[in-house]
Amino acid sequence: MRKPDQAECLYLDFDGFFASCEQLAHPGLRGKPVGVVPYAGGTGTCVIACSAEAKRRGVSSVMSVREALRVCPDLILQPQSPDLYRRAHNALLAEIAMVLPIEAVKSIDELTCRLDPVQQQNPRAVGEAIKARLFKLVGPWIKCSLGYAGNRQLAKMACKAGKPDGNMLWHPADMPGPLLGLRLKDVPGIGKNVLRRLWDARIVEMNDLLKAQPKQLRALWGNVTGERMWYALHGYDVRVPPSERGMYGHSRVMAPDQRTLSAVKPMSRLLLVKAARRMRRDGWSASRLFLWLGLWDGSWGTSLYLPALCDDPGILQGLDQLWTQAEAELPSRAVIARMGVTLGELSKSSQRQMDLLTRDEPLRQRLEGMTHCIDDLNRRYGRTVVSIGPWSPPPGGNAGGKISYTRIPSAEDFY
């Protein structure tokens, strides 16, 4: 494995991205403490992002709305706008790509680039150029932090260490100096469980972690990630192979007045159709359908075999079967706080093995043709104009279009 002797990687992270986008789009919010919340009017929810002004007043992300209003009474609660964040993401990436090519987009507000040998001589100048461009063409409301190091993991940590509005260089020659002041939980990839295992192995400080052996970390993690972490922290250019697509799904926390079986069922139907659309768009078929219901006291879940389907009627028929089972097994007054539907055991639609015993090839071809026509119509009109059965989006919208760490929605997810 190669150990770079120059800062080859750049990592960029936008500061308070969601709140900054809201301030950019709504001039009335600029310079004020803003907290982005999942939906309007809810006090039982939490702040999913906050502006720099709110952070200065003690508000933090994932703080409950009640607590946030207690520490900052004049906090402005702004409902999330996933489509705005998605459009801002695309526009900002286009501007950054004018300064240097983007190597990978890690999340809606994080990306990484590789510096060429000339840029490696003065990495901070690249960051200054990006910041100057964003300031000139987008405005002062969207700020970013940049980190440079020999690999992506260290560049991300440098970026985090320099926040907010940072431009932090961790040159390979200076390592591991900057790491020694950090806590273990500050390392991306060390969560609660791993931290407990590290403590059990008497690894409590960064110095202990750096002195450990690669195979020891592999054993503590229980997989190859531990070994990769060792090499990354020691400055090696670790490349994590991209993970394979395993499933398509959606989940949703139900609104307090919609936690009955009869209210959750249509929502699961809508989310499953959205997941199936995404799956078809990427050319996959599913051989298993999962339904999961988060009850007030526990959970209920089951799955069903599908003969490598990608058409809506076949998938929805499977969902009906799962709901028949759920209605038979759950009490009629069950309180369902959360629900999820997932299409799994994927195979490429062009290479799938058809079920020999069901012998439904002509029917499947007809239904798939019809589903593709429906997709084309919806895509052409930019909204759901045709659907199999009723189509009733939930109050508040954004079903299937939320921003997650692993997925940036496309415009089609909001149809």
Partner 1 sequence: MSWKSETRLSDMDPTARMEITCRRCGLTRYETQAALIRRPALRFATLEQVEASLTCADRWCHGRVRLSLVYDDLNEPFVGGMA
Residues contributing to the site for partner 1 (CB under 8 A): 11, 87, 90-91, 93-95, 97-98, 102-107, 110-112, 137, 152-153, 155-156, 188-191, 221, 223, 225, 228-229, 232, 238, 240-243, 379-383, 405-408, 410-412
- Alpha helices, DSSP H, located in 11-151: 17-25, 52-56, 65-71, 82-96, 117-121, 123-137
Of 109, 33, 44, which Cα lies nearest the Cα of 77? 33
* Closest CB to partner 1 among residues 103, 208: 103
Q: Least separation, in Å, of the C-beta of 214 and partner 1?
A: 14
Bridge-partner residues for 10, per DSSP? 113, 148
* Closest CB to partner 1 among residues 259, 274: 274
- Record the tokens describing residue 103, joined without a space: 């190597």
Return d(Cα 160, Cα 175) in angstroms, integer. 16
Q: Least separation, in Å, of the C-beta of 102 and partner 1?
A: 6
DSSP class per residue in 221-257: HTSHHHHHHHHHHTT----PPPPPP--EEEEEEPPGG
* Closest CB to partner 1 among residues 242, 331: 242
* Closest CB to partner 1 among residues 71, 138: 138
Q: Least separation, in Å, of the C-beta of 376 and partner 1?
A: 11
Helix (H, G, I), strand (E, B) or coil at 290: strand
Q: Is the Cβ–Cβ distance between 34 and 81 less than 8 Å?
A: no
Amino acid at 76: I
Q: Least separation, in Å, of the C-beta of 275 and partner 1?
A: 17
Return d(Cα 86, Cα 407) in angstroms, integer. 11
Q: At what angle do helices 123-137 and 82-96 cross, to 10 degrees?
A: 130
- State the DSSP code for 393: P
Return d(Cα 189, Cα 206) in angstroms, integer. 14
Q: Least separation, in Å, of the C-beta of 192 and partner 1?
A: 12
* Closest CB to partner 1 among residues 354, 411: 411
* Closest CB to partner 1 among residues 49, 154: 154
DSSP class per residue in 300-352: EEEEEEEEEE-SHHHHHHHHHHHHHHHHHHS-TT--EEEEEEEEEEEEETTTP
Q: Least separation, in Å, of the C-beta of 215 and partner 1?
A: 16
Q: ∠ CA 294-300-305 to the nearest 5 degrees?
A: 120
* Closest CB to partner 1 among residues 243, 332: 243
* Closest CB to partner 1 among residues 10, 49: 10
Q: Least separation, in Å, of the C-beta of 51 and partner 1?
A: 24
Q: Least separation, in Å, of the C-beta of 109 and partner 1?
A: 13
Q: Phi first, then psi: what are they for 132, rounded to 5°?
A: -65, -40
